[in-house]
Structure 1
Amino acid sequence: MTGGSGGIGGAVARRLAADGTAVVIHYSGGAARAEAVVESVTAAGGTAVALPGDIAEPTEMSELFDAAERRFGGIDVVVNTAGIMRLAPLAEMELDAFDRMHRVNVRGTFVVSQLAARRLPPGGALINFSTSVTRLQQPGYGGYAATKGAVEAMTLILARELRGRDVTVNTVAPGPTATPLFVEGKSEEQIAGIAAAAPLERLGTPEDIAEAVAFLAGPGGRWINGQVLFSNGGIA
C-alpha cells in the first residue's frame, strides 16, 4: 500500500494485517514513520515490511511491486493512500503547489493504478483515495479537489476497462478525519465546528476509514466495483 506511513495509511495497514494480509508499506520521505507502522503490525502478530519509492516514477514503483511479489509470492490488494494537500483560493494558489499535488495525486495514482491493472490476479482489488471535498466545494480546496476529481474519473473508468478480469476497482473518499495533518494549523474552535457539521457530530478516525478499505479489500466487497465510497459520517 502506498502512503502507509501516514495517519490513514498506517491505520489501513494495521487493519488489513489484522485480517491476515501481509502488508507492504510504501513510503517516500517518512522512513521512521513507516518503520513504526511495521513495528505496530508485527507487535500485533501481523506481517509487514516497509519499502521506499517515488510514487510518480514508474521505474521505482515497478521495482516496489517486484519486491513485494518476490517477498510474498504475489499481490492481491493495492491500496493507494499516498497524496498531498495544498490549500489556497484558486486565484492565489502558486502554480508550483498545484503542480506538486498533480504529480503525487494524479500522476502517482495513474502510475500505481497502471501497475495494479497489469499485475492484480483474479479476485484482486485496487482501492484508490479521493476526498469528500469533491462534494463539499469548500473555498480554498479547488486545486486539491481538482486532483481528486481526476482520481475518481480514472478509477471508475479503469473498473470498466478491466471487464472480465474479476478485479474490483474502487475509490474511498474520506471526510474530515482526525489525523495530525488535519489538526495542524487549526484552532480547537475550528476543529469543533468541522466536527459538528456531520450528522454524527464528530470527526472521522483513521480506523473508520480503514474499515471501509477492509470491506472493499475483503470477500464482502466483491460485488462493489467502479464506485466512490464516501466515508464521512454523512457530511456530504
Structure 2
Amino acid sequence: MNATTGFTNPADRHVEGAFPATAWSMLRQMGSEIPEEERIGWERLARAYWQPLYFFLRRRGADHHAAADEVQGFFAHLLSREFVRRIERGNGLFRSFLLTSLQNWRADQRRFAVAQKRGGGMAPLPLHELEAVSALPVATDASPEEAFDRRWARALYDNSLAALQARLESRGRGLLFSALKGLFTGQTTDQYQEIATRLNMSGGAVKQAALELRREFSGVLHEEIRRTVTDEALVDEELRYLLKLLRG
C-alpha cells in the first residue's frame, strides 16, 4: 500500500490466511484473552482503517497532531473488552459502524471530560506514515462524512491493489504486475507495444494479460469489500458507491 492511503505492508497483510475473514473478525480478535492475538488484532484494524478517520477529524477542524492523537485514543478505546462485548453491527457496513463509534466516543470525551491514555499500551501508528499523511491536502469541498467515505474508498482500492500484487508476486509475475498496473490506475502513458517491447512479449499477449489483470483485480476488490459488510447483498451496492467516489 502506498504512503498516501494506508500502512499495511502487502507482504504481511495479503498472504493467504494472514488476514481475518472480515473487518468484524478483526474487531472481535481485539477482545481475545491471548495477548499476542489481541496485539495483532489491534494492529491490523488500526493500520487498515485509520486514514478515513483521520481525514474525517481533519475536515471537522482538527489539526494534524490533534487528529492523529484522537485516532490513536479511539483505537485504544476499541481495544477495551467492554467495548468489544457491546458490538452491534448496525446496518451491516463496517465503515458506518466505525465512523459512528468514533463520533460516540468523541461525544463521551466531551461530555465526561475523561482523560484517555493515548495508545492503550499498544504500538503507536508509525510516525513516518503519520508525517506523510500530514502533507496531504484535506478536501474543502466535502463534508467530514464525505471526506471519510472518499478516503475509505481509496483505502479499499489500494488494499485490493496490494493484495493483487502479492498474489502475482507469489506466482512469479511481479514484473508483469509492475508493468501493467499503470494501465488501469492511470499512472502511466505507456502503450501496449512499449510494454510488450520492455517485457519481450507480443502486443497481443500484453493486451490479454492486461484484461486478465483487470478481471482478477475486480475479484480482489469484491473480496475486500465483502470483508467490511455483513450481508452479501450489500457488496455490489457498496462497490458502486465506492467506485463513484473514486471517479469523482
Shorter-chain TM-score range: under 0.3
TM-score between both structures, scaled by the size of structure 2: 0.22
Which structure has greater strand proportion?
Answer: 1
Which structure has greater helix proportion?
Answer: 2
TM-score between both structures, scaled by the size of structure 1: 0.23
Higher relative contact order (CA 8 A, sep 6+): 2
